[in-house]
Chains A and B, each alone.
Chain A
Amino acid sequence: MSFEFFLGSLEIGLIYALVSLGVFISFRLLDFPDLTADGSFPLGGAICGLCIYIGVNPWLATLYGTLGGCFAGMITGWLYVRLHILQLLASIIVMIGLYSINLRILGAAPYIMGETPNMAGSPNLPLLNLKTIFTPFLNEDFSNQYIVQPLIILLFVILFWLLLNMFLSTRKGLALRATGTNPRMASAQGIKTGGVTILGMAISNGLIALGGCLFVQTQGGADITIGVGTIVIGLASIIIGESVFPAKKLAFITLSVIVGSILYRLFIAIALGNEFLQMIGIGTEDLNLITAVLVVLALVLPKQIKKWIPKRGGKI
């Protein structure tokens, strides 16, 4: 594995660390199986891409993309809380709806710029040579791209990791965690579990969309397909993090999610660079299959390990 390839994997791992933190909020903290991610990740990317394309400040574009994700999450939460649609189904509905919306957003940019005569959807939007949040830090020949981009994204990850942990230690954050584990107890303590769920879903999908915003800016374009499997990648990262870096304190659990996301990318890179696997003809097209196998392994292995650890319990 070359150094550039390693840094590239690290960069993607860090971007998906934000996504994984979002997935962690919905799946682990709120106990809300949320597939909106597959739609909110490209939604963030599409909104961000559109804004950058039409000349909005890239930082603002990133913010708008993130807010778009928040909004998508709120809708999923609202469908569940107010309309009592099953969690999984509510998120699938939003995900499917977002697919069309994302096509529209991607197609809107050239239309707004007067490059196409009519407003049609598009599966992609190139952002090459446009001003992104990374542009001011790059050399003219992009030679430092491999170093600068992961560094800036690392700062994002650290910032949002800190913010998330700060939030979770507030009364609101505690209310969110209580709602996820024991909604009956939570409402007996005066917590508006419905509102808290919607808030949590907004934060979760906001983080996922932020990942999408950074992703399109590093990849030089937004594409409708970037969302496929987002949720599985997020879950894989969480599970890998939990198994290689088991933690009790919440701050370390969220850190393990980040580590899990980076490790996942390195595993993938190693798997794709493996000579034996290349010899038997496994390539990038098998990425999702490898992911699926990794998730199964990561799901099964911790349970096997747990069998060896005796349970603790107190008695009066």
Chain B
Amino acid sequence: MKVYSVSEFNQTIKAYLEEGMMDVAVQGEVTGYRKAKDKLIYFELKDDKSRVLCFMMVWDLKTILEDGMEIRVYGKPSLFVGSGGFHLRVKEIELVGAGALRKALEKLKLKLEKEGLFAIERKRALPRFPFKIGLITSPDAAAYHDVLRILKNRWAGMTVYFYPVSVQGFGAIKQIAEAFNYFNHTREVEVIILTRGGGSLEDLQAFNAEEVARAVFASKIPVVCGVGHERDWTVADLVADQRASTPSNAAERIVPDKREIISEIVYLADRLEELLRQDLSAKNLTISTAVSRMEQGIANQRSKVMITITHFKGFFQHFLSLLEGRGKAIIEKIVRLKSGAGFLLEQWQAKIQEEERVLKTLSPQATLDRGYSITRNLQARKILKDKDEVQSGERISTRLKRGEIESIIK
């Protein structure tokens, strides 16, 4: 028989326990809870007959833990090599019983609310027409089929990226957090649905877990959370960008109804046509108005011209007739003048000869011919009739029958 050293023995038993047994779930009441070195947690689980030591790391503890709480732990049996102490190496804890759960939940909600994880301001709008949708749920659940059915009925041509997870029980929290990591890492999808059917507060622990809440909060992709038929909001609901009342409702919130969108598209196309027609007929009206105005203008001008021409014609006729009348009168005058002219000339000639004769008899020349003379004062240009009319030194002219004599008075 092989003789083991103590260390060897403890090592072997530890390995035997850890490798030989699957993960186990153990439920009981917490007692002797204590933290060591800020990272190690020890407590015992007990029922009315037995107790077992539990050991876990601080970072695996996702909930509040107090003595007297009823909990369910997930982990493997193990052995401390040093002390040989048998224990349960705990990986995850679930609270059991509505009281404990509610207490833990209220505490977590308060904490996250203070940190601003539920703030309305950070809620993002969902894409209007998503075609790549991330789905985080369990493949076995009705929720999965509900979501796919609604998506298919409402929307078309999309790709659903389905990340299967457990939505409750051991590993659920971690898987859901990983799913968010995955989608945010690959960035393939435009929106994420986190959903499951309804259940008790106990069933919904993953959706009330801080780690899931933080994963939803950290997601760069908008999240819709839908838990079936729940009156109370889970923490995931509170952090998500939108909360849906059921898995089907989550799908409805994510995609529009294609019938509505198609009728909107048809409306837009019809409206375009209608507007174009309206515009065309408005333009036509403007053009025809302009054309008729132009025609009107031309017609006006033409009628003005016509009136002017007509007036002119009238005046011209009148003028012609006037001319005709006057012409006749003038011609008559000319004829009359012509016939009267010879007689007048003869008369004028006889008159002139008579006047010449009279003038001749009156002229002083005849007197001068008889030896008389005419003397004029040259200064006064007067005919002298008196000796006083002239003074000494003045010049006089004396006209004889033939020629003139100038003299100076002594």
A binds B: no
Taking Cβ atoms with an 8 Å cutoff, the residues of B that contact A are none
